[in-house]
């Protein structure tokens, strides 16, 4: 996992003065089965596997990794940007060798080589990861009967949701919105450049010319202009800086931003006829070690032996789900 993404994942799960991860707790989420288009698919998979479940368990699985999924996409941006720097180092080495063999190349000249092609493919990968990051924050549902999906729509109303919305706004202005439009061109129509992928010589170095700021959807590369002398590496650096600023801002106040003050929960006893070891073995592995949660004495959505209600198409109310999940 990329270095910064790994640090962010650790920040989610480990922190001084707290015994649960930042995304732990029913009160964090909109606990309403009818809001999640993934609910039917989760229920079908559990039923196919013969696993017992109820609405709470489906809701837990629909929300359990939403925050980590966003960090995963941010890690994709980080990884692509790191690779781009590595690829461009190879491009500069190739350029220096060419100059040593054939003389200096004039400014404004072009360079096409396998190393340049590799760098351009990494740029296109970066654009897709930036689009993925935004999609995991908020996206239209594939099934139009559902509201928007992603981390932001799933978060309960309050300061933490407001903080993530502001972070997304900063991300969009830092290049994510622009990357989304360019990735749409790449994914569905054509690459940014026609013909062979090439770089340009500027001040004795090779750069990858990057389009002027894209402020509207692009349906053909002819809509792109290149008057601002932007380059792909500078765009990637600015994009990654925006990702870091946004994540740091919305997570820096530690637990209070992504999570309100945690209400104590009563641990649930194992059901009659169930050994304690078997009881703990029903927890999803993402909840942590058995010993850790035994020591904490906390209860969570995966900790009970859940029974199939037989009515996955008739979700209980959010209030009912919250009450059940808190062991009341």
For the stretch 152-194, pLDDT in tens is 999 999 999 999 999 999 999 999 999 999 999 999 999 998 8
Q: What is the mean pLDDT of residues 296-324?
A: 39
Q: Domain-by-domain residue ranges, the chain? A: 24-63+263-325, 67-257
Q: Answer whether 134's CB lies under 8 Å from 176's CB.
A: yes
The rounded mean pLDDT for the chain is 80
pLDDT at 183: 95
Q: What is the mean pLDDT of residues 197-223?
A: 94
β-bridge pairing 209-210 and 110-111:
unpaired
Give the residue-averaged pLDDT of 216-220: 94
Distances (CA, A) of 99 to 49, 92, 264, 300: 63, 10, 69, 64
**What pLDDT does residue 259 have?**
44
Say if residue 77's pLDDT is above 70. Answer: yes
Grade residue 256 by pLDDT with cuts at 50, 70 and 90. Answer: very low
Spatial separation of the C-alpha atoms in residues 64 and 49, rounded to whole Å: 20
Going by C-alpha positions, the residue among 216, 209, 217 that lies closest to residue 234 is: 209
Tell me the angle at which helices 114-137 and 66-102 cross, rounded to the nearest 10 degrees. 160
Contact 48, 308 (CB under 8 A): no
Given a cut of 50, is residue 71 above it in pLDDT?
Answer: yes
pLDDT band at residue 252 using 50, 70 and 90 as cut-offs: low
Q: What is the pLDDT of residue 280?
A: 32
Candidates 152, 22, 130; CA nearest to 80 is 130
Between these two residues, 47 and 273, which has the higher pLDDT value?
A: 47
Burial of 138 (0-12, 13-18, 19+ CB in 10 A): middle
* pLDDT grade for 249, boundaries at 50, 70 and 90: low
- Does pLDDT of 104 surpass 50? yes
% of the chain with per-residue pLDDT over 90: 61
pTM (2 d.p.) = 0.77
Q: Indicate if the pLDDT at residue 132 is higher than 50.
A: yes
């Amino acid at each position: 996992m990329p270095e910064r993404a790994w640090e962010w994942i650790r920040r989610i799960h480990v922190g001084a003065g707290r015994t649960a991860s930042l995304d732990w707790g029913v009160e964090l989420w909109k606990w309403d089965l009818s809001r999640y288009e993934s609910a039917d698919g989760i229920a079908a998979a559990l039923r196919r596997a013969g696993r017992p479940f109820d609405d709470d368990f489906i809701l837990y699985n629909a929300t359990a990794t939403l925050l980590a999924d966003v960090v995963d996409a941010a890690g994709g941006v980080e990884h692509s940007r790191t690779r781009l720097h590595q690829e461009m180092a190879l491009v500069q080495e190739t350029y220096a060798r060419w100059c040593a063999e054939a003389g200096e190349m004039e400014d404004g000249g072009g360079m096409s080589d396998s190393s340049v092609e590799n760098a351009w493919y990494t740029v296109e990968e970066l654009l897709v990861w930036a689009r993925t990051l935004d999609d995991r924050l908020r996206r239209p549902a594939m099934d139009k009967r559902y509201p928007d999906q992603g981390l932001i729509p799933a978060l309960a109303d309050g300061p933490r949701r407001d903080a993530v919305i502001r972070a997304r706004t900063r991300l969009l202005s830092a290049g994510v919105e622009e990357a989304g439009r360019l990735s749409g061109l790449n994914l569905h129509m054509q690459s940014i450049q026609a013909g062979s992928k090439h770089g340009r010589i500027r001040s004795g170095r090779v750069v990858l010319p990057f389009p002027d700021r894209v402020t509207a959807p692009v349906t053909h590369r002819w809509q792109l202009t290149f008057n601002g002398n932007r380059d792909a590496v500078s765009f990637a650096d600015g994009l990654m800086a925006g990702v870091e600023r946004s994540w740091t801002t919305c997570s820096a106040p530690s637990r209070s931003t992504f999570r309100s003050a945690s209400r104590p929960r009563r641990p649930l006893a194992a059901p009659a006829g169930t050994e304690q070891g078997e009881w703990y073995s029903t927890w999803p592995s993402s909840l942590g070690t058995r010993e850790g949660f035994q020591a904490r004495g906390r209860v969570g959505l995966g900790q009970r032996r859940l029974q199939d209600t037989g009515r996955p198409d008739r979700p209980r109310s959010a209030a009912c789900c919250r009450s059940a999940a808190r062991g009341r």
